Amino acid sequence: MTITPARDINSLYSVSSDAVKKSLYDIGTDSTDSNNVTGGENIFDTFLNAAVSNINDTNSAISDKENETLKWAMGISENTHDLTVAVGKAQTALNYTIALRDKLLEAYRDIIQIQI
């Protein structure tokens, strides 16, 4: 059995919930000037920050699952409950990330098909 480490993407971008809250607050306080482009940029930043945060959470859950699996396999931990919880969290996080990716691709395809 070969165990390969998951790619660590935490160094890609670090997002805290305060950053997302601040972005949402900035969107609500923007002026309604039609020449103001920052509102659209803030909406994009909010979605980008949320997506990166989701990826970081998924990566963390998968890493925890791998750690619990290794602990159980090496006999360090005999508690199968922690292993089961870690596997469940990792599966849920990965399924959510895949569903989000699929929806984003579907929206992208719809936007591409719009004729001007």
Cα separation values, 52 from 11, 15, 36, 109, 111, Å: 11, 7, 26, 21, 22
Cα separation values, 85 from 44, 53, 67, 90, 107, Å: 34, 21, 12, 9, 33
pLDDT, tens only, 35-88: 444 555 688 788 888 888 889 999 999 999 999 999 988 888 888 898 999 999
For residue 52, what are its two tokens?
């990166």
pLDDT, tens only, 82-106: 899 999 999 999 999 999 889 989 9
d(CA 71, CA 111) in angstroms, rounded, equals 47
pLDDT at 17 over 70: no
d(CA 29, CA 42) in angstroms, rounded, equals 11
CB 77 within 8 A of CB 37: no
Residue 59's identity, in one-letter code, is N
